[in-house]
Amino acid sequence: MITGNKIPISSDIDESVYEQILQFIRLRVTETYAFPPEIVQVDGTTIATLGNFSASVGKPKSKKTFNVTAIVASALSGKEVLHYKAHLPEGRHKVLYVDTEQSKCHCHKVMERILRLAGLPTDRETDNLEFFMLREYSPRQRRQIINHALASESDFGFVVIDGIRDLLYDINSPSESVDLINDLMRWSSVHDLHIHTVLHLNKGDDNTRGHIGTELNNKAETILQVTKSQFDGNISEVKAMHIREKEFEPFAFRINADALPELVPEYAFSQERKTFCESITDEEHAKALDAVFAEGGISGYRALIEALQESYAEIGFKRGRNVCIELNKYLMGRGVIVKQGKTYGYNPEILDKNV
């Protein structure tokens, strides 16, 4: 098995050193090479290994940082948080969290949130978590600080860079983006750790921002996409945008009363909602809606959704509120449910034609 320290490369390497480098980088078919330890999984699917890097991407306010705090909390505690199950190997048990844009106050909230999710005390320092705030520094200085921190501490197994865009002067510079990706590959490989970064998506589409986004798509082990639900603004959906392993089942979370992310049970994604709505016959729709509108029109959106949820459950289609919101959109799109002012009515003739 090939082991040993990796040899750093710089522009001022002496010619004699290249012989050592060539010995290290040469692949031999007769040698056995260890598969990198798997350190983060989602429902049994590996999303992070040592020696690689990954990313969480999403539009502003999609709760990307909340998603990352769940991964870090699992790494610190060894417990499953949301659907993340992390395990850092012996000698790589520390986490470094680097924030590039938030104030000390906001960074402190993130740090507290991680500790609370991990079930760790917030009234004393935690040995296994280092948190750096780099808001005041230039992109070049930020990269130098991270480089120095990783070279100075050998126990880091998981590193978060929340705001990779802030390690660049020009997000659309191909050369600068390639240099940064090379830094991520070098840091993760040389120091035998995993780096998880955070990047925004374009506002107008679901593409990662700038040339750095293109490079991330090409080189990252996993890219998680965090999206605010179009049916409920308080819910965020998480799916694999790019992954080397098999895709895991998407999941959703909300922020609870304690300001912590928690899973949304039985959450149905868009395709599931569409399948659910179309799987019900018009005769079954009519039966449920006759009960919903038995006393006439319904005043108020909330009352309508609750009535739909109750009546469809009675005919054997018990679903959560989010699915019933989509059900209402489906029925209104067909003209079965109509709205006049604040009152919702029922047009049974649409269903009668098909029954």
**Superfamily of 35-263 according to CATH:** P-loop containing nucleotide triphosphate hydrolases (3.40.50.300)
CA distances from 51 to 36, 249, 310 (A): 7, 25, 51
Q: What is the pLDDT of residues 172-181, one digit of tens each?
A: 999 999 999 9
Query: Per residue in 154-189, is it b (16+ CB within 10 Å) or e — as a string?
Result: ebbbbbbbbbbbbbbeebeeeebbeebbebbeebbe
Give the model's confidence band at 2: pLDDT under 50 very low, under 70 low, under 90 confident, else very high. very low
Answer for the pair 39, 183: CB distance below 8 angstroms, yes or no. Answer: no
Q: Report the distance separating Cα 258 and Cα 119, nearest Å.
A: 13
CA angle 293, 296, 299 (to 5 degrees): 90
Burial of 284 (0-12, 13-18, 19+ CB in 10 A): middle
Domain with CATH 1.10.10 in the chain: 270-352
CATH code: domain 270-352 is 1.10.10
For the entire predicted model, the pTM comes to 0.73
For residue range 42-63, what is the model confidence (pLDDT) as tens digits?
999 999 999 999 999 999 889 9
pLDDT at 245: 81
pLDDT of residue 239: 93
Q: What is the pLDDT of residue 8?
A: 55
Which pLDDT score, from 0 to 100, does residue 273 have? 60
Tokens of 285: 């729709």
Q: Is pLDDT at 192 greater than 90 in this prediction?
A: yes
Band (pLDDT 50/70/90 cuts) for residue 135 is: very high
pLDDT digits (tens, 9 = 90+) for 74-87: 999 999 999 999 99
Residues of the chain with CATH 3.40.50.300: 35-263
Residue 170 dihedral angles phi and psi, to the nearest 5°? -130, 110
Per-residue pLDDT at 9 exceeds 60: no
Tokens of 105: 């106050």
**Helix, strand and coil in the chain, % to nearest 5:** 40, 25, 40
In degrees rounded to 5, what are phi and psi of residue 327? -60, -45
The predicted pLDDT at position 6 comes to 56
